[in-house]
Structure 1
Amino acid sequence: MKNTGKTIAKNAGVLMASQLTTWILTLLLTMFLPRFLGAKAVGQFHFANSLWAIAAIAVTFGMDRLMTKEIARTPDKAADLFGTTIFARALLYLVGFSGIALYLTLLDYPAETVQVVFIIGIAQLLWQFVSAATAVLQGLEQMQYISIANIAGKIFNTVVAISLLLLGYGVLVIAAVTIGTALVSLLVMLWYLRRVIPLRLHIRPRAVIHMLRAGSPYLLTQLSLVIYMQVDIVIISLLVNEETIGWYGVADQLFGTFLFIPTVFMTAVFPALSRMYTTDTHSLSRLMSKSFNLLLTLSVPIGLGLIVVADQLVVLLFGPEFVNSGPVLAMFGLVLILTYQNMLLGQFLVSTDRQNKWTVVMIVAAIVTIPLDLLLIPWCVQTFANGAVGGAAAFVITEAGMMIAGLSLLPKGSLTRANASMAARILLAGLTMFAAASLVRESFIAVPILVGAIVYGLLARLLRAVADEDVTLLLEIAQRLRSRIRHKSKPAETVGTS
């Protein structure tokens, strides 16, 4: 367990350095896009991304999760799996592209919106190959290569897109930047991937069929998840307008940036969970318990704090045109707390070969969210003149249901009364922080953030809401993060750049 903790801390430190860099770059671009393009164009972007997110899961067909799991257990399979999945994805992409084209034609979307969707679709083929390479490297626990490719792509995307925005280019040109971004990430990924496995295409129909069959249980889980996550935007496009999608989209994108913590953590932990399931079940339960506490410790202050500062934050970042995104982002603060735990629950169930049970949960959530959206979005339009709030409210309801279901599916002993006691102390510290920060919420945004951080930090230590082992793990990750940042800064210092 000790060695596993060091491996997780190492991988988490590497990925955190990458995610911190890409988070800053994404946030920078997120600030520019709404201000220069406006709510309608931002809505077109998010609609296109939502459609392709759904199609991409069908193209991936569960192969990413299958590959990571199989390669973590048997690294020698990496080359064959990669060569087979590339061929399979190219075929499935053609089917997905045709399906989206038919959908847009039947529902008669505006011409410019259709053009944005097709441009994003071209980039999606390249992203599929990036996704396959990422799955291989994750299974081999070579996280540093994933980090470098992500940073390279984000730098290209941010610099080129902002430059074009400043030059006055519109939504179609900015959409085309995603093609270049995907290409940069793919080239960097392949450059490093060829160092660890031979790169060769496998055109073997039987191998493709076998891989698709093995990936199908993961497909249902991931497809349900993506439909569940993206259907709000599709329904808003049908019931309201692109401007409302823009309000929802910027809040959703900002919410997504706060998910980098569980994303990094679960990417580092998943191979260990899969390996422990077959070698050390006692350590597996301990790792699950510690992960639950750690993610709750981080999610509660972030989520409740987001509720307090949401209105100020969206206006500060995106301008007064997006003031209606404030209530949406506040709703996402509640979603964030639930989502951190659901990401852990889902990954744990998948890594312990319980993906079929989690698939049922995801299918139910995806089905339930549709009538909730159809009910809440029109109601919020009439009541608040903001249908985007309805989509976020549906999200809160379904995330809560998923967490309850996920907890009930855990093997006996995965979580104990000690976890319940820890959760109660964390929530007490968080609610006290929320009350204190709310008293100064009308002050400049830095004030409630500072007050909340001080109150939560003091209470968390006073109530022992943070275990010593968790503090040690966080400090080790932070130390590795600082080392990575210093290491990256040395070449610049040598050259003499400032």
Structure 2
Amino acid sequence: MTPAPTDRLWVRYLPSFLRKRFEDRHVFQEAVENSGWLFADKILRMGVGLLVGVWVARYLGPALFGQISYAGSLIGMVGAVAGLGLDSIVIRELVHRPDKCGEILGTTFILKFFAGIMSYFFVVGLVFVLRPDDTIAHAIVAILGWSLTVNALDVIDFWFQSKVLSKYVVIARNFGFIVSAIGRVILILAKTSVVSFAVMNLVELSLGAIALLYVYSLKNGSVRKWRVRLSIATNLLRTGWPVLLAGIISMVGLRIDQVILGQLADSKEVGIYAAAVRVAEVWFFIPSAVIASVFPSIIRAKEVDEAEFYNRLQKLYNVLAFVGYAVAVPVTFLAGIIIHLLYGKAYATAAPMLVILIWSDLFINLAMARGTFLLAMNWTWILFWVNVASAVVNIALNFFLIPKYGGVGAAAASCISYWISAHAICYVFKPLRRNGSMITHSLLLPKFW
């Protein structure tokens, strides 16, 4: 007989009025604790990472910083292919079929590893086509591109997410992060080239992957238990390829602005825009942490109680809308000060870009939550077409606005396309109209509960 779950230790130390809300709500406690670890991870990265990242941006200057940002955007877009759209699907399978854990993880790793190798050679060829005379971009992409294969070990992260045990992933990855942060400071003091910073980015991912392997071995045994099964590979690819296409389109929509800006403007404008993007994206850890913690419980609720499923989904929309407003409103008024304090006069024109981009975060939050709904319903084709519509609008607006307004035009294109993807498109697809109303409600009455 399975023993009844007990309250988490930290619940006992809460004030009485809070303790009553948490007691005997074990799924909620699990999600809160998991979110706490993810928040701690991202806050550390936001503090140390932003500090060191800003120092790197100041040291390199807008032009060289634009070079490394351009390369990162190219790799980010191709990385969607290397991921094969399997992330959420694998987590869902691990929740549903824990007895097949070794086979699911082993098969997923092999699929992602070979997809990463093919993606690496593709992105190296792509940068030669787009920038045939830019040897610095060639070198940076050739180095950073290996991250596409290292990321195959993310399958271990999926296992921890399925168990709502993200603290082990946080500990492992922060090992690589801290070492690389120290390494970047040393590179700045030694006045090294921009290529050396690309090497350090790859070192961070590699050390994080090694540490992840170690903590996995402590919790679940050796990777020797992993097995490759053709039937599982076929099932994952059959289920995942609509999500893969959606992921490719989504990542194109997310990173294409810097690529187009790099082609139509110059590396300096890319660097200034990338500075604004870096500040705007600092807050992404909040929706990511919340969704990672509640996704398994939303899936379970769908299987048992439809009303509770939609109730949890509405709460997720409410929380993420509240978070979006809580970040966007103050940053709107403080953008100029933030950019000046962080990056200095060389990046001053990033302030208006940040004002626009920070509002796109609100819609990104809601789009991520709506993506959770689509995956829970297994409506992957709708997810694909939603992302197609958003990407087409984004690309069209980028080509129209960038020649006239530069980075500000790229920011406006992103914000409009994210609103369409998260909200407006819900009223186009009939199955999403209920979600459209739920999102409207969250935009008008956001709540942090």
Q: How does the TM-score come out when normalised to structure 2?
A: 0.88
1:424 equivalenced with 2:444 (yes/no): yes
Report 1:348-359 matches (<5 A).
348-359=373-384
Q: Is the 8 A contact 2:246 2:384 kept in 1?
A: yes
Structure 2: which amino acid aligns with 1:193? Y
Q: Is the 8 A contact 1:285 1:413 kept in 2?
A: no
The residue that corresponds to 1:7 in the other structure is 30
The alpha carbon displacement at 1:7 in A equals: 2.2
The residue that corresponds to 1:102 in the other structure is 125
Please say which of residues 260-269 and 143-152 is displaced more in the overlay: 143-152
Q: Is the 8 A contact 1:75 1:140 kept in 2?
A: no
The residue that corresponds to 1:454 in the other structure is none
Q: What is the distance in 1 between the residues matched to 2:121 and 2:230?
A: 22
Q: What is the distance in 2 between the residues matched to 1:204 and 1:294?
A: 40
Report 1:159-238 matches (<5 A).
159-194=182-217, 195-200=219-224, 202=227, 207-238=232-263
Q: What is the distance in 2 between the residues matched to 1:376 and 1:366?
A: 15
Q: Is the 8 A contact 2:120 2:146 kept in 1?
A: no
Q: Is the alpha carbon distance of 1:421 and 1:363 closer, same or farther for their aligned partners in structure 2, counting shifts above 3 Å?
A: closer
The alpha carbon displacement at 1:390 in A equals: 1.0
The alpha carbon displacement at 1:340 in A equals: 1.6
Q: What is the distance in 1 between the residues matched to 2:389 and 2:100?
A: 34
Structure 1: which amino acid aligns with 2:148? Q
1:403 pairs, out of 408, 412, 422, with 422
1:116 pairs, out of 132, 140, 164, with 140
2:150 pairs, out of 126, 135, 158, with 126
1:308 equivalenced with 2:327 (yes/no): no
The residue that corresponds to 2:412 in the other structure is 393
Q: Is the alpha carbon distance of 1:212 and 1:420 closer, same or farther for their aligned partners in structure 2, counting shifts above 3 Å?
A: closer
1:90 pairs, out of 107, 113, 116, with 113
The alpha carbon displacement at 1:118 in A equals: 0.8
1:19 equivalenced with 2:42 (yes/no): yes
Q: What is the distance in 2 between the residues matched to 1:411 and 1:106?
A: 40
Which runs of no fewer than 5 residues in structure 1 stay unpaired?
A: 381-386, 427-465, 471-498
- Note the aligned Cα RMSD (angstroms): 2.2
Q: What is the distance in 1 between the residues matched to 2:377 and 2:340?
A: 44
The residue that corresponds to 2:104 in the other structure is 81
Q: Is the 8 A contact 1:349 1:358 kept in 2?
A: yes
Structure 1: which amino acid aligns with 2:220? V
1:318 equivalenced with 2:343 (yes/no): yes
The residue that corresponds to 2:178 in the other structure is 155
The size of the alignment, in residue pairs, is 421
Structure 2: which amino acid aligns with 1:112? I
User: Residue by residue, what CA displacement relative to the aligned partner does 1:111-153 show, whole Å, maximum 9, x if unpaired?
Assistant: 0111011111123321332x22212211222211111123212
Identity of aligned residues (%): 21
Structure 2: which amino acid aligns with 1:68? I
Q: Is the 8 A contact 1:345 1:407 kept in 2?
A: no
Q: Is the alpha carbon distance of 1:425 and 1:357 closer, same or farther for their aligned partners in structure 2, counting shifts above 3 Å?
A: closer
1:298 pairs, out of 320, 323, 333, with 323
1:365 equivalenced with 2:385 (yes/no): no
Q: Is the alpha carbon distance of 1:289 and 1:153 closer, same or farther for their aligned partners in structure 2, counting shifts above 3 Å?
A: same
User: Residue by residue, what CA displacement relative to the aligned partner does 1:188-226 show, whole Å, maximum 9, x if unpaired?
Assistant: 111121222541354555643443222212212211110
Q: What is the distance in 2 between the residues matched to 1:425 and 1:352?
A: 25
User: Residue by residue, what CA displacement relative to the aligned partner does 1:371-417 show, whole Å, maximum 9, x if unpaired?
Assistant: 1111000011xxxxxx1111111011111111224544666766878
1:239 equivalenced with 2:257 (yes/no): no
Q: Is the 8 A contact 1:22 1:150 kept in 2?
A: no
Q: Is the 8 A contact 1:28 1:158 kept in 2?
A: no
The residue that corresponds to 2:281 in the other structure is 256
Q: What is the distance in 2 between the residues matched to 1:363 and 1:328?
A: 24
Structure 2: which amino acid aligns with 1:424? L
2:310 pairs, out of 282, 285, 291, with 285
Q: What is the distance in 1 between the residues matched to 2:31 and 2:91?
A: 16
Q: Is the alpha carbon distance of 1:407 and 1:364 closer, same or farther for their aligned partners in structure 2, counting shifts above 3 Å?
A: closer
Q: Is the 8 A contact 1:62 1:215 kept in 2?
A: yes
Q: Is the alpha carbon distance of 1:388 and 1:50 closer, same or farther for their aligned partners in structure 2, counting shifts above 3 Å?
A: same
The residue that corresponds to 1:436 in the other structure is none
